[in-house]
Amino acid sequence: MQKSVLKRALGLGTDVADGVRIEGESIIVAAGPRRAAPRCPVRGRRCDGYDALPARRWRAPDAGSARCYVERAPRRVERPEHGVKAGAVPWARTPSSRFTSAFGDQVAWLAPHMRRMPEFVELSRKVRRKRGGILRSIALGVSNARVEAVNNKIKVAIRQGYGFRNADDLIALIMLRCSDPRPALPGRATA
């Protein structure tokens, strides 16, 4: 009963749910083919199996707050007219897809509805405005964390230095805080 409900909820089609396990915050559903011969991904006809690939995961619709994945070791098939190709799986539209059809349908339904929500509208505007910086940050693997840390140290120093009569003293305090000096103290080994 439980496996048939799971099979229908995930859209496993002709495959069977072999088992379920939890990894961290994710639910992994192991799926396997029935005894039927594998199918060609191009025409859907039965064909000879070639070999088995390592296990892959397809993202499925979430189960409550947990992410859900379907896991299976797909088989490669051989057809004279197409050669060797990855076999079709019933829950994905194409063999190279990383998502189940049910997940794709859910995302396609949510996309137009989210455009009307003010939170998502504001987020999309920010992403569009900062797109270049976001892409550069991802490509270079650099963030502005150090700059923000120095800015925070300067703000704290200014707050603590309120009332200094001389701006040079405030600048000296900021330089002392931000330069991270480690002077050798008498009677102690330097680190």
187 lies in some domain: no
Specify whether 37 is located in the same domain as 78: yes
Specify whether 95 is located in the same domain as 155: no
Distance CA 147, CA 76 (A): 51
Instruction: Please tell me which residue, 43 or 84, carries the higher pLDDT value.
Output: 84
Give me the chain's average pLDDT, please: 79
Interacting residues of 109 by C-beta distance below 8 A, sequence separation 6+: none
Specify whether 95 is located in the same domain as 172: no
Over residues 99-115, mean pLDDT: 82
pLDDT score recorded for residue 129: 92
Instruction: Please tell me which residue, 5 or 130, carries the higher pLDDT value.
Output: 130
186 lies in some domain: no
Q: 114, 130, 156 — which closes off a domain? A: 114
Overall number of domains in the chain: 2
Specify whether 16 is located in the same domain as 109: yes
78 lies in some domain: yes
Over residues 124-138, mean pLDDT: 87
pLDDT score recorded for residue 36: 63
Instruction: Please tell me which residue, 16 or 26, carries the higher pLDDT value.
Output: 26
**Two tokens at 126?**
């920010």
pLDDT score recorded for residue 1: 43
167 lies in some domain: yes
Number of alpha helices (DSSP H) and beta strands (DSSP E) in the chain: 6, 7
Share of the chain above pLDDT 90, in %: 1
**Two tokens at 108?**
């396609």
Q: 114, 133, 168 — which closes off a domain? A: 114
Specify whether 77 is located in the same domain as 28: yes
pLDDT score recorded for residue 37: 65
User: Is residue 12 packed enough to be buried (19+ CB in 10 Å), middle (13-18) or exposed (0-12)?
Assistant: buried
pTM of the model: 0.52
Specify whether 154 is located in the same domain as 80: no
Domain that holds residue 156: 145-179
Specify whether 157 is located in the same domain as 69: no
